[in-house]
A and B are shown apart, each in its own frame.
Chain A
Amino acid sequence: MHSRQQILSLYKSLMKESNKFSSYNYRNYALRRIRDAFRENMNLTDNNQITKIVKDGYRNLEIIKRQVLIGDLYKSDKLVIENVKLLA
């Protein structure tokens, strides 16, 4: 059984870590995917299912942490669209 607080803190750490992706596309995808997944599963009541999904969330959190590191090691230049935003 997971408390509301536990799940909220998982959400927060997932978003926080995803924000660190240096790649524009990976970062935006991760933020969008996490937000949509939590919204989609907001009304789940089956405890077994919730436990499974939360476990998946923690697994993904570890993946994101590692991939952010790798992304930082092999950075590329910023995309055109990021620079346009900086100018605007």
Chain B
Amino acid sequence: MHKCVFKLKGFYSLVNNRNCSQLSSIRLLSTDLRFSIKDEVCEGRPLYLDAQATTPLDPRVLDCMLPYLTSFYGNPHSRTHAYGWESEHAVEKARMQVANLIGADPKEIVFTSGATESNNISIKGVARFYSGKKKHVITTQTEHKCVLDSCRALEGEGFKVTYLPVNQNGLISLENLEKAITPETSLVSIMTVNNEIGVKQPVAEIGRICKSKKVFFHTDAAQAVGKIPIDVNSMNIDLMSISGHKIYGPKGVGALYVRRRPRVRIEALQSGGGQERGLRSGTVPTPLVVGMGEACDIAISDMEYDHKWMEKLSKRLMDQIFEKLSHVIRNGDPVHSYPGCINLSFAYVEGESLLMALKDVALSSGSACTSASLEPSYVLRAIGADEDLAHSSIRFGIGRFTTIDEVDYTAQKCIHHVTRLREMSPLWEMVQEGVDLKTIQWSQH
């Protein structure tokens, strides 16, 4: 708050210095002072454009789950009666469905509570198991918080962690990765599709490098599985985290792929009854797992169809916004990215005020985990976005159930409010006047 006041003071002194106080009165006159956000908010629930945070449950998935929430309540690990057998059968079918989606063997799938747990098990589990000889882990600066935090925990245990920087387009440099791998390295963990900027890392190439250097490769594919084709064998992936609720499945379930040949060994984090080959003890939640299996099954048959839809909608959204607004920057590589995730920075507009104005569209400025804080996203800072642009970013998440009308409505509202907020902004006015903001020496900071 203090900073803002100083900045404003700085602005006025600057305006006076430049003898253009006339300018600010013109601005005041041209701003619609009667505007009230309350007049603009329409009745009804907001539209959902935050498909990276979570996706709605597909009705087909719910239909498969319901019998296991009502009649078939057996514990899948009960071997002595029919209740257990029918649940076990359902769990094994779901395991096969998940395995089919990623080209794995059903025995290589471990059910967990979500991608966060899968990431924790793979990073801490592998690093700790091989800690006798190897005490180095490589990851990137743009990973999800749970990967970074797991690595932070390992650092506390005496491991060395390399956080690879990313290029301006959000992709890692394969040369840097190759250089970072040492004989000490036990694991490389790089996410497939970034949750904030939608960038697709070159997973197949990374897998090849890791294989040639005999290092285990873990990828957090929560945002990628079911949306882009993934084959763990052709991509040389050793461990992969999957989430249920990002692929129109239920929340609270995920999976971990662990390669069997050559075998990846893991120190389990949770002690207990030894379910899931001892890697993740605890009763497997049959209804959730069945739902995730069905979600994977739908993803196999509908991936291509859904992907075309995402491409169509994201193109439509961007065409409309870029046509009507200048100074809009797309964060992340435009080619190597998943079309359902578009991260845009609207220069000279504060992201939070735009989100508040867009009350009837559910959007986010970045990851849901960090949406409570006003700090700019660490992912955007890692790709070298300027502080002001990092503050003005908005993520548009398009999903299977998004309609053309919703995209048009969002684009139209977005253009309207960005224009309105820019009209109020002294910075925008100076840019229109041809002042390069970077050259300004703010008097007090």
Query: Would you call B323 an interface residue if the criterion is a C-beta within 8 Å of the partner chain's C-beta atoms?
Result: no
Query: Would you call A2 an interface residue if the criterion is a C-beta within 8 Å of the partner chain's C-beta atoms?
Result: no
Are B400 and A63 closer than 8 Å at their CB atoms? no
Can you list, as one digit per residue, whether each of A49-88 has a CB less than 8 Å from chain B (1) or not (0)? Answer: 0000000000010011011001100001111111110000
Range for the number of chain A residues in contact with chain B: 20 to 34
Min CB distance, A87 to chain B, in Å?
8
Are B44 and A82 closer than 8 Å at their CB atoms? yes
Query: Would you call A29 an interface residue if the criterion is a C-beta within 8 Å of the partner chain's C-beta atoms?
Result: yes
Select the residue from A21, A67, A79, A83 with max chain B CB neighbours within 10 A.
Answer: A79
| Chain A binding surface SS class | helix
| Listed A/B pairs (5) with beta-carbon separation below 8 Å | A63-B60, A64-B59, A76-B45, A80-B45, A83-B43
Are B401 and A81 closer than 8 Å at their CB atoms? no
Interface contact tally, CB-CB below 8 A: 59
Q: Which of B30-38, B109-117, B403-411, B416-424 participates in binding chain A?
A: B403-411
Min CB distance, A58 to chain B, in Å?
14
| Chain B binding surface SS class | mixed
The CA of A26 and the CA of B401, in the complex, are separated in Å by 6
Query: Would you call B151 an interface residue if the criterion is a C-beta within 8 Å of the partner chain's C-beta atoms?
Result: no
* Residue numbers in B under 8 Å from A24 (CB-CB): 403
* Residue numbers in A under 8 Å from B405 (CB-CB): 81
Partner of A81, one of B47, B305, B400: B47
Are B360 and A80 closer than 8 Å at their CB atoms? yes
* Residue numbers in B under 8 Å from A21 (CB-CB): 59
The CA of A80 and the CA of B48, in the complex, are separated in Å by 11
Are B42 and A80 closer than 8 Å at their CB atoms? yes
The CA of A84 and the CA of B406, in the complex, are separated in Å by 11
Known: A25-B402, A25-B403. A80 touches B62 (CB 8 A): no
Are B305 and A79 closer than 8 Å at their CB atoms? no
Query: Would you call B319 an interface residue if the criterion is a C-beta within 8 Å of the partner chain's C-beta atoms?
Result: no
Partner of A67, one of B62, B361, B403: B62
* Residue numbers in A under 8 Å from B403 (CB-CB): 24-25, 28-29
Can you list, as one digit per residue, whether each of B376-403 has a CB less than 8 Å from chain A (1) or not (0)? Answer: 0000000000000000000000001111
The CA of A81 and the CA of B47, in the complex, are separated in Å by 7
Residue of A nearest to B305 (CB): A36
Known: A28-B403, A29-B400, A36-B305. A79 touches B45 (CB 8 A): yes
* Residue numbers in A under 8 Å from B305 (CB-CB): 33, 36
